A and B are shown apart, each in its own frame.
Chain A
Amino acid sequence: MAKVRDFWIAGRGVAAAVLMGATLAACGSSGDSSSGEKVKAAVVDGAVEKPNLKFGFIKLTDMAPLAIAKEKGFFAEEGLNVELEAQANWKVLLDGVIGGQLDGAHMLAGQPIAATIGYGTKADLIAPLSMDLNGNAITLSNKVWDMIKADLPKQADGKPKHPISASHLKPVVASFEQQGKPFNMGMVFPVSTHNYELRYWLAAGGLNPGYYTPGDVTGLVDADVKLSVTPPPQMPATLEAGTIEGYCVGEPWNQAAVFKKIGVPVITDHQIWNDNPEKVFGLRKDFAEKYPATTAAVLRAMIKAQQWLDADNGKNRPEAVKILSQPNYVGADYEVIAASMTGKFTFEPGDTRDAPGFNIFFDKFAGYPYYSDAIWYLSQMRRWGQIAQDKPDSWYVDQAKAVYRPDLYLAAAGKLVEDGVIPEDSVPETDGFREPQGGFIDGITYDGRTPNAYLGSFEIGLKEGQTVTASGVTGG
């Protein structure tokens, strides 16, 4: 039991926080290296300041680094006593971290970014570690799948040729429109990877997923396909109820639709954008400043867990699946989780394909929080109107540097390299920007250094000078 004096009243708490901020601002070490210069590791030493920690997560397989770090003892090795708690939805999780009930969490990459730029709840959150690459898919209801199946181009073996373009949905959406019904699809959060991936896929196929207006979070202006928010675990039930005709979500909820025979996954996010960055580990900026050694210890434990997950071509994956299927973690049946985590992915029943890159936790520098990844999310926020006004390229870079903290990642990873725990070539030496990336379904190349030029290359999406009002897109 702690002491009663810990019951701070608001006034004292705020005063203390201000003082703390003032003293720590001096020794803060943000990655303010100018473009081209390599990101340097933050200087961290000393003992763990806060060993008892509580982290939140959503029941998705990509929370695995947290579960593994706890169950395989990596947190304990770093002198940490960590409690993991499942959260009902992304909003509850975000409020938990901002409000201090949680010390950190498995987060959507868009969450700390949106919080920092003040879209939704404004708070200073940082992402010092990227948790994984890929891991999502888009599922359609059986009804819609039957409508498009006949028109899909086939491979030699009679199975549909991948990747499946959203353009095949066009006649279905048109027929829904004729009957006066909206074509609804689900995603998990307005700033979620899933929202942007689903939008990317739809737009690449010529369907408009709708724009956001300032102060409106439904994003339905000019929409051909209407997207709405549903928490991941409820996706299959919502699809079954007929409220939505399809959804984009992380695993195991696509495979769950296959097992329950209520829907068919049509495309993975790996096919929409090869090796796209997914969840991040998010925490409050003041936490990392107040407890630098604790933060570094947490990151080291998670990097070890990530390495364990990808070790020797996934030899540990079955064990990981077993841990994740415990009711206090993901809790879905073993087979459902194993269906996507052990190198295979099932589309319709009988169409199981190799998907070695479906979940990447450690390889391909999966853990490094690249500035360019953050800028991609910012570019999509601008593309769909969540960022209402044009911003210069430098604004994108500044925001990315405020949220993504490779300096903290390097501090943790550097220690592990030094101790011989992880190989030296598993940590990239970079200025934080990936080389221009291809691998998108629409063939457009992305360069994180020039977000505005990138935005100009989309057929559907806001262009320079355009704004959105309730009646449609204006200007430009």
Chain B
Amino acid sequence: MATVYADAAATAKPAETDTDAVKTASVEGPDAKTPTEHGGSGSSEPSTSVAQAFFARFGQSLIAPVLGILAFLGMWALLAPQVDTSLGALPGPVEVAEQGVALYGEWQASNDAKAEFEAAQEGRIAAGTQAEAFEYSGPPTFIDQVFTSLKTVALGFLMASVVAVPIGLAAGLSPLFNAAINPLVQIMKPVSPLAWLPIVTMVISAMITSADPFLPKAFVISALVVMLCSLWPTLINTAVGTASIDKDLLNVGRVLRLGWFAKLTRLVLPSSLPYIFTGMRLSLGVGWMVLIAAEMLAQNPGLGKFVWDEFQNGSSQSLARIMFAVIVIGLIGFLLDRIMMAVEKFASRNRTV
């Protein structure tokens, strides 16, 4: 890929943005590599055709998205100051970026405070004025809240998968069982997380009565709500994938007298795996959305609480901080989706059956 960059730099300079695009593309990886890159664009070619070639190659994959983002940022910067709220004008991209930096600074300050607290505590324990070590009880920063949310969604998603995949397999293999659970699934599926929340809260509050439980109640409540809402895509996809297995395969299995377990692991699972992972990918997306809503309503630690607290603060920076949180929520959602996509691809890489 280095050759591409060298070519562009050596020839009469293309437009500024194009150079940037080429630079980025050169680190992007092998996706962009095509045969013409190596042979076609020699240094003797006129620069216009090089630019054209790049545009043709990266137009859709890079230039268009970058232009789209730039156009959005431009519109945002232009229009936001015109909206006058009771907290001042709507913040533009620059203010939001500033708050992003400020939030990072707060995290560092909090880390320093924590280190100081722990050092002082060690001193007190050594001096015998304090019996046991305490956990640092400072306020959670934005970055702490991000990790809390990620942990919660991971637990909820894990529980959902553990429950949904076996039920889905059973439903796919047995039309009778499928018919039995179908109405329940259809009714539970569209229920909003906010409707589950009071029920889950009351049940968990009644079940965990210890003063110092293994997992904090709020964490369990959020994770359970995520599970209840993200169960369904995995369940339905698994059932569909299992049901749509090639009948010939099953017949072959019967001929070979495969046992129940062998049938499941050799035939059913491999052929329904892509469906299962597609379902899980959808589930994770749903879970992430549900989690933010649940955290906002129940005031459970996490990004949702961060957004709600900032809304309640109503200070002149609150809106910018909320917008920064929205962007981070979006990016994390996107990232989770990409990770699941990669897993999905990996799972279905060599479909031999």
Contact = CB atoms under 8 A, between A and B. Distances in A.
B122 to A, nearest CB: 14
Given A81-B137, A88-B299, A332-B313, A3 B308 contact: no
A6 B139 contact: no
B16 interface: no
Given A79-B130, A81-B134, A240-B86, A100 B211 contact: yes
B183 interface: no
A12 B209 CA distance: 9
Nearest to A234: B312
A223 B55 CA distance: 71
B309 A81 contact: no
Interface string B178-211: 0000000000000000000000000001111111
Contacts of B312: 59, 86, 88, 231, 233-234, 331
A13 B134 contact: no
B214 A6 contact: yes
A10 B213 contact: no
A201 B299 CA distance: 34
A313 interface: no
Interface string B292-303: 000001110000
B67 to A, nearest CB: 36
Given A233-B314, A256-B314, A331-B310, A2 B134 contact: no
A60 B313 CA distance: 10
Interface stretch (A322-330, A349-357, A374-382, A459-467): A322-330
A6 B213 contact: yes
A1 B213 CA distance: 9
A9 B314 contact: no
Given A6-B214, A88-B308, A100-B211, A333 B315 contact: yes
Given A7-B210, A81-B137, A260 B313 contact: no
Nearest to A16: B209
A333 B316 contact: yes
Interface centre among A12, A13, A14, A240 (most CB of B within 10 A): A13
Contacts of A234: 312
A271 interface: no
Contacts of B205: 99-101
B31 interface: no
Contacts of A256: 314
Given A13-B210, A83-B137, A262-B86, A101 B217 contact: yes
B139 A84 contact: yes
Contacts of B308: 88
A4 interface: yes
B37 to A, nearest CB: 51
B207 A10 contact: yes
Contacts of B248: none
A52 B135 contact: yes
A256 B222 CA distance: 33
Contacts of B210: 6-8, 13
Nearest to A17: B209
Contacts of A17: 209
B145 to A, nearest CB: 11
B77 interface: no
A19 interface: no
A236 interface: yes
A24 B268 CA distance: 61
B214 A52 contact: no
Interface in B45-92: 86-87
B134 A331 contact: no
Contact of B208 (A3, A7, A87, A236): A7
Contacts of B311: 233
B318 interface: yes
A328 B135 contact: no
A100 B209 CA distance: 8
Interface of B: 86-87, 130, 132, 134-135, 137, 139, 205-214, 216-218, 297-299, 308-316, 318, 321
21 contacts: A1-B214, A2-B212, A8-B210, A10-B206, A13-B210, A51-B134, A81-B135, A82-B137, A83-B137, A92-B299, A100-B205, A100-B209, A100-B211, A101-B216, A233-B313, A237-B86, A256-B314, A327-B315, A330-B313, A331-B312, A336-B315
Given A2-B212, A8-B208, A326-B139, 7 more contacts: A3-B214, A13-B210, A17-B209, A52-B137, A233-B311, A330-B313, A333-B315
